[in-house]
Amino acid sequence: PATVVDQQRRLAEAGEQLRRELAATGAYRVVDLAPAAALVERLRGQHEYLYRCDDCADQVGRALGTRLVMSAWVQKVSELILNVNLQVRDVDSGRLVLTKSADMRGNRDESWRRAVHFLVRDLAERRARDPAYGR
């Protein structure tokens, strides 16, 4: 039970870190999710894993008036092996424009923070070299 509580906290903190760091890079415009909160909760009630529902991501993107929508999730293989994943979809075409993943070693706060930071830093560096990257 303590691990579950810690993981829920880490998920929330990782989401906030991801939004904050993405906004700081300017790679994407980060929007407030509040206007789509009811839709997200309804969709969560209909799907075991929301990140597996591409149409759900598109619905949320349309509800927020965005062209691109990002989904992120963490896979836990064990207490030692985890990875954080993200994907970006074009809402109008349904096309996947970016997928990224970073492995974590150890289910600790620091490993989660480092994995999220790596994903954002790598995305920003690639975008600097190729402005079309992830668009």
Q: For 47-92, write each residue's pLDDT tens digit.
A: 999 999 999 999 999 999 999 999 999 999 998 999 999 999 999 9
- Partners of 68 in the beta sheet? 90
pLDDT for 4 equals 87
Q: What span, in angstroms and rounded, lies between the C-alpha atoms of 129 and 124?
A: 9
Average pLDDT over residues 35-41: 97
Q: What are phi and psi of 108, to 5 degrees?
A: -130, 160
Mean pLDDT within 123-129: 95
pLDDT recorded at residue 3: 82
* 100 closest CA partner among 112, 83, 114, 125: 83
* Helix 54-64, helix 37-46: angle, nearest 10: 170
In a domain, 134, yes or no: no
Mean pLDDT (the chain) is: 95
Q: Is residue 135 part of a domain?
A: no
**Domain at 30, CATH number:** 3.40.50
Number of independent structural domains in the chain: 1
Q: What is the pTM of this model?
A: 0.91
Report whether 21 contacts 117 (CB < 8 A): yes
Other CB atoms within a 10 A radius of the CB of residue 49 amount to: 8
Beta-carbon-side half-sphere exposure of residue 74 (alpha carbons within 13 Å): 24
**Above 70 in pLDDT, residue 1?**
no
Structural domain of residue 64, as residue ranges?
2-129
Q: Is 23 part of any domain?
A: yes
The percent of residues in the chain predicted with pLDDT above 70, rounded, is 99
